């Protein structure tokens, strides 16, 4: 899991509530990513950021938002518009080459 931390490890959301997942890295990596993992579906890209103050939508961005105000931080907000948010969320960062390094994940459950 290297120098990438995600918090909290477990998160519970009520219907209609927005929640924010934290991702912090001390690897001095420029690029950061958010993925969603569901059983049998592998990892799907939500948002990614190549540099501070810039980010792009991934394949399943609807119902999510991000910010990248600092190089080391890339928080993900799961909004009430995301109708099926229960999943395991993984944050990753990438060095100047091609290898991504992943955090330990946050498991989000809707009550």
Partner 1 sequence: AQSVAQPEDQVNVAEGNPLTVKCTYSVSGNPYLFWYVQYPNRGLQFLLKYITGDNLVKGSYGFEAEFNKSQTSFHLKKPSALVSDSALYFCAVRDGAGTYKYIFGTGTRLKVLA
41 or 84: CB nearest partner 1 = 41
Q: Which residues pair with 56 in a beta bridge?
A: 48
Q: Which is nearer to partner 1, 80 or 88 (CB)?
A: 88
At 92, list the tokens: 């990753």
Query: Pairing relation of β-strands 19-25 and 42-51?
Result: unpaired
Whose Cβ is closer to partner 1: residue 73's or residue 100's?
100
d(CA 95, CA 110): 33
Residues at the interface with partner 1 (CB under 8 A) = 1, 4, 6, 31, 33, 35, 40-45, 48, 50, 56, 58, 88, 90, 92, 94, 98-105, 107
């Amino acid at each position: 899991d290297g120098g990438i931390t995600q918090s909290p490890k477990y998160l519970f959301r009520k219907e209609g509530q927005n929640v924010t997942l934290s991702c912090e890295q001390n690897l001095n990596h420029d690029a950061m990513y958010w993925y969603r993992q569901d059983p049998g579906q592998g990892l799907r890209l939500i948002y990614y950021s190549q540099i501070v103050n810039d980010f792009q939508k991934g394949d399943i961005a609807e119902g999510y938002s991000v910010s990248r105000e600092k190089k080391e931080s890339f928080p993900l907000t799961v909004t009430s518009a995301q109708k099926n948010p229960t999943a395991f969320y993984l944050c990753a960062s990438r060095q100047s080459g091609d290898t991504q390094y992943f955090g330990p994940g946050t498991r989000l459950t809707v009550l």
